[in-house]
Structure 1
Amino acid sequence: MLIVLSVGGSILAKDLDPEHFAAYASALRELGKEHKLVIVTGGGVAARDYINVARKVGANEVVCDFIGIDITRLNAQLLIAALGKDAYPEPPTSYKEAESAIASGKIVIMGGVIPGQTTDAVSAVLAEYLNADMMVIATSVDGVYSSDPREDPDAKKYDVMTAKELVSVVISTEMKAGSKSPVDPLASKIIERCNIDTIVMDGTNPQDVLQVVLQEASKVGEISGVHLGTRIIG
């Protein structure tokens, strides 16, 4: 089974803790024993900090996107280093490069690709392009909510939702480099278009990601909730 996993920079590289990168590498090795994996790493706090400085000195949004992409690729290289011989040695810089890298039999790690796409959107396009069996978005919240649970105590968590419902929830997210959302609008529309089985979950603990993916990979196509996240269906 081919699985595309989007790992938010805010959980992978929050404090640039080498032990956390090592823990993620360990979980990915276990997953890699049973499945083909392509990981897309986000930029997180570091990317937002650099983007904020760039905006203040006059950079436009495309330049800000390129800066964010560079940071995502640095995070990818750190995870590659943690995986060692189990990882493809360089982050692919395009979807075609990622497709070729999979043929190596290694775990493929990459960051952003082009301006205007968050790493979630990259993951969604990649999942469609590769005809992946499942996509997992590991973020800093435990699923998709009707509104931001950090700001709205009455926010409702969805255990199962359609891709169309996902689009309606996140469509108001501002499309700027470094914006925060459990799934951004472009990624949501791509998920709706390609109808891929998708899970959004809290990826702070890499062992949770391991557990959910191993359990849910055998349930692709079933309409059931995910205890540690939200399942998105067509």
Structure 2
Amino acid sequence: MDKQRRVLLKLSGEALAGEKKTGFDEETVRAVAAQVKKSVEEGVQVAIVIGGGNFWRGRSSKAIDRVKADQIGMLATVMNCIYVSSLFTYLGMETEVFSAFTIGGVTRLFSKDEADAALNAGKVVFFAGGTGHPYFSTDTGVVLRAIEMEADEILLAKAIDGVYDSDPKVNPDAKKFDTITIEDVVEKRLQVIDLAASILCLENRMPMAVFGLEGEDSIYQAMKGNITGTRVTV
């Protein structure tokens, strides 16, 4: 029997907020859910990490220290995972939410064995709470979970449609890469994911694909291996 494709999808919290830029936009989440559902029905194993930027962006006040600010951000990712997983369930998918720290009966504490069993059972698995520690971004949490779960690839659904040599919003002549090595991403300090996460990918040979969230069926196509954005190779 062929090994099932296993991917870790990273969604930004801001993307879930739609035009409101904060909170949730149900229509946007439903569109994501429809694409994930098709992929799961075709045998793809899907794990999801969601950023918290629709609720919290770093230190919004100098009165809050970095540790507390990061803890608030981790809790924002938990809220996002609970909301999105609930909507996925409503639309007919089985889901499981694991967090990096104990939250009573709200989520399950992360266990590789339990997450692996859930994926093998056809459930969509959500990883909340980042790494569970301050000073590590959601990017680092994404890469860590992808490595732990032996994912085939990390899929980064972004507002921008790939990796560029400079910010295309600032530089109209910015060059988009169809393919780039993770070594070049690290060397050139390209803002695909943060540096610590990029080095973790490099050391563990974890490939990534970056694509625009708003493209038609972009998530579904990416889960099939059809990338119109940028492949980050190892």
Per the TM alignment, residue 154 of structure 1 is displaced from its structure 2 partner at its CA by 2.3
Q: How do 1:180-191 and structure 2 match up within 5 A?
A: 181-191=191-201
* Structure-2 change in CA distance of 1:206 and 1:59 (3 Å): farther
Per the TM alignment, residue 167 of structure 1 is displaced from its structure 2 partner at its CA by 1.0
Per the TM alignment, residue 23 of structure 1 is displaced from its structure 2 partner at its CA by 1.4
Partner of residue 32, structure 2: 24
SS in 1 for 2:97: coil
Give the RMSD, CA atoms, in angstroms: 2.1
Distance 2:99 2:182 in 1: 28
**1:11 is matched by which residue type in structure 2?**
A
Note if contact 1:139-1:203 (Cα within 8 Å) is conserved in structure 2: yes
Note if contact 1:43-1:75 (Cα within 8 Å) is conserved in structure 2: yes
Partner of residue 92, structure 1: 99
Pair 1:117-2:136 in alignment:
yes
Distance 1:45 1:75 in 2: 9
* Structure-2 change in CA distance of 1:92 and 1:98 (3 Å): farther
Q: How do 1:151-162 and structure 2 match up within 5 A?
A: 151-162=170-181
Per the TM alignment, residue 206 of structure 1 is displaced from its structure 2 partner at its CA by 7.1
Note if contact 1:77-1:91 (Cα within 8 Å) is conserved in structure 2: no
Partner of residue 36, structure 1: 45
Gap runs ≥5 in structure 2:
102-108
| Off by >4 Å, runs of 4+ in structure 1 | none
Partner of residue 62, structure 1: 67
Per the TM alignment, residue 62 of structure 1 is displaced from its structure 2 partner at its CA by 1.7
Greater relative CO (CA pairs within 8 A, separation 6+): 1
TM-score, L = length of structure 2: 0.82
Note if contact 2:116-2:149 (Cα within 8 Å) is conserved in structure 1: no
Note if contact 2:9-2:154 (Cα within 8 Å) is conserved in structure 1: yes
Distance 2:51 2:112 in 1: 16
Gap runs ≥5 in structure 1:
172-180, 217-225
**2:131 is matched by which residue type in structure 1?**
V
Per the TM alignment, residue 83 of structure 1 is displaced from its structure 2 partner at its CA by 0.8
Partner of residue 219, structure 1: none
SS in 1 for 2:232: strand
Note if contact 2:155-2:222 (Cα within 8 Å) is conserved in structure 1: no
SS in 2 for 1:135: strand
Distance 1:206 1:28 in 2: 13
Per the TM alignment, residue 190 of structure 1 is displaced from its structure 2 partner at its CA by 1.3
TM-score, L = length of structure 1: 0.82
SS in 1 for 2:217: helix
Q: Choose the corresponding residue for 1:9, options 13, 28, 45.
A: 13
Distance 1:205 1:102 in 2: 30
Per the TM alignment, residue 67 of structure 1 is displaced from its structure 2 partner at its CA by 0.8
Note if contact 1:24-1:206 (Cα within 8 Å) is conserved in structure 2: no
Note if contact 1:38-1:108 (Cα within 8 Å) is conserved in structure 2: yes
Pair 1:101-2:115 in alignment:
yes
* Structure-2 change in CA distance of 1:89 and 1:212 (3 Å): closer
